[in-house]
Amino acid sequence: MSLIVQKYGGSSVADAQSIKRVAARIIETKKAGHDVVVTVSAMGDTTDDLIDLANQVSGTPDSREMDMLLTTGERISMSLLAMAIRGLGFDARSFTGSQAGMKTDAQHGRARIVDVTPTRVRQALDEGAIAIVAGFQGFNHDSRDITTLGRGGSDTTAVALAAVMDAEVCEIYTDVDGVFSADPRVVKSAQKLNHASYEEMLELAAAGAKVINIRAVEFARRHGVTLHVRSSFTEESGTWISTTSEGDSVEEPIIAGVAGDTSEAKITVVGVPDIPGKAAGIFTIVAGVGANIDMIVQNVSVHDTGRTDISFTLPKEDGQKAMEALDAAKNDSGFESLIYDDKIGRLSVVGAGMRTNAGVSAQLFTALSGAGINIEMISTSEIRISVIMREEVLASAVAAVHTAFGLDGDSEAKVYAGTGR
């Protein structure tokens, strides 16, 4: 009897009817002869609503208390789903992250998994039950505190369980038919990808594709977990994510997808002394507040001043604390001023075929020029090109680039639920 791990996102369990539909789907998998472990997110936009509520009662909510608050969302959905399955005549047991053995480090809000010991989950399966695990959460062994894994953490919970329990596949259920060549909410003509490699999916997730969390993909790649991203609203096959994108016998597509992201801000450090060690000092300060830097650009030094400007992007939620830390070190660092810009958008094109095909950069910049889009920063990897632009033109830029690379489909992509929030 093989084990299948299924993860259902917030839009899939948004209300009572949705939960009943998911329960029926889980039972069908059980009837097919599989053991089933299910990971659930909070219902609908519950997590976002709880964050909004916390911000209303406190300007700077304590990170420990935020974790205590936010984990309630998954506890609601896991217990309701277990009730729904029991109501259909099958045994189901719900477990919090700590009960499922999800051990993490002590970093509240973005904890990392250090060990998984799903003893109680295995026991439930051995007794013929379906195990429902609250995603997004764990506990720290030393402090005994509840922790959360950060945005998209339920994906990581599911993949971690699949890896440790040697599952045949980890199915990620969402409100679209799979991974698309662009966000179908933005580009209606986006096409579903039948297959994607771990490498391509890592780049797409890092570039802002919301369908699966980047840490989950990295976990899957490291442990060889096959992923199947599909819709909980249909029976259609979705996108399979594994070592290769289309199988060893098929040449890789040049571009797999185009992603847009508005979750980052840009900080420009103006007038940095152009001498060894100054850039290291600046990024050491930023690292000290736990901010994760994405793109970096340093201008050529102005000869008569001996100073340069350094710009970098980082998540918006880290922007203010990075600015405060840099400002506090202004005199020691010797720079002149700081500029904060949270109205930027990042566009990325991703494809394993970039390695062996020339002209991708030219095609990208020609498409952006034709759409009248001005570029502020550029970053590349072996299979990705990312550019920064104004936030308000990002959607039109994504559509223009998607068309330029011949990714438009003949039919309109369908979004079954969810707000994309």
Q: What is the CATH number of the domain that holds 90?
A: 3.40.1160.10
183 DSSP assignment: -
Instruction: Give a yes or no: residue 159 inside a domain.
Output: yes
Instruction: Give a yes or no: residue 35 inside a domain.
Output: yes
Instruction: Give a yes or no: residue 71 inside a domain.
Output: yes
Instruction: Give a yes or no: residue 22 inside a domain.
Output: yes
Residue 416 CA to residue 409 CA, distance in Å, equals 18
pLDDT score of 421? 41
Contact criterion met (CB below 8 Å) for 272 and 315: no
pLDDT score of 420? 46
Contact criterion met (CB below 8 Å) for 388 and 346: yes
pLDDT score of 252? 56
CA 143 from centroid of its chain's CA atoms: 27
Contact criterion met (CB below 8 Å) for 193 and 181: yes
Instruction: Give a yes or no: residue 311 inside a domain.
Output: no
Instruction: Give a yes or no: residue 224 inside a domain.
Output: no
- Exposed, middle or buried, 359 (CB in 10 Å: 0-12/13-18/19+)? exposed
Residue 27 CA to residue 35 CA, distance in Å, equals 10
Whole-angstrom CA distances from 149 to 52, 102, 318, 360, 388 are 19, 10, 16, 36, 28
Query: Which residues, including other chains, have CB under 8 Å from residue 3's CB and lie 6 or more apart?
Result: 34, 35, 36, 37, 125, 165, 166, 167, 168
Residue 182 CA to residue 198 CA, distance in Å, equals 17
Query: pLDDT tens across 83-118, in order?
Result: 999 999 999 999 999 999 999 999 999 899 999 999
Instruction: Give a yes or no: residue 185 inside a domain.
Output: no
Global pTM value: 0.85
180 DSSP assignment: B
pLDDT score of 295? 93
pLDDT score of 223? 93
Could you list the residue range(s) of the whole structural domain that residue 136 is in? 3-175
Residue 167 CA to residue 157 CA, distance in Å, equals 13
Instruction: Give a yes or no: residue 304 inside a domain.
Output: no
Residue 397 CA to residue 107 CA, distance in Å, equals 37
Residues of the chain with pLDDT under 50: 247-249, 419-421
Residue 293 CA to residue 286 CA, distance in Å, equals 8
Total domain count for the chain? 1
